[in-house]
Structure 1
Amino acid sequence: MVTAPAPPEALHGRHLLSMQQFQRRDLENLFTKAEALRLAAEQGALPLRFAGRVLVSAFFDASTRTRLAHETAMLRLGGAVTGFADPEVTRAGGATQESLYDVFRMLSEYGDVIVVRHPETGVAALAAHAAGDRAAVINAGDGTGEHPTQTLTDLYSVWRRFGKIDGLRIGVVNDLRMRCTRSLLRGLRDYDCTVYAVAAPGKGLDSQLREECAQRGPHLEICEDLREVLPQVDAIYSSPTILDEVSSVRPADGVLRGDTPLTASLLEQYGQPDLAVFHPLPRKGEIDSSLDSTPFNGYWEQAHNGVPIRMALLSVMLGGE
Structure 2
Amino acid sequence: MDSAFITVGMPIALIIIMMGLGFEVTLYDFQRVKNNPKNVIIALFCQLILLISIAFGLIHVFKLEPLLAVGLMVLAASPGGSTANLFSYLFKGDIALNITLTAVNSVIAAFTLPIVATLSIQFFMQGHTTVGIQLDKLIQVFLLILVPLIVGMVIRNKKPNFAKKMESFVKYFSVIFLIAICFGALLKEREHLANYFSSVGLVCALFCAISLTIGYFVPKLFNMREAEARACAFEIGIHNSAVALTIAISVLGSTTIAIPAAVYSVIMIFFAFFVGFIFKMKDKRMKYSNDLHIGQQNFND
* The two structures share one fold, judged by TM-score above 0.5: no
Structure (1/2) with the larger helix percentage: 2
Identify which of structures 1 and 2 has the higher relative contact order when contacts are C-alpha pairs closer than 8 Å and 6+ apart. 2
Structure (1/2) with the larger strand percentage: 1
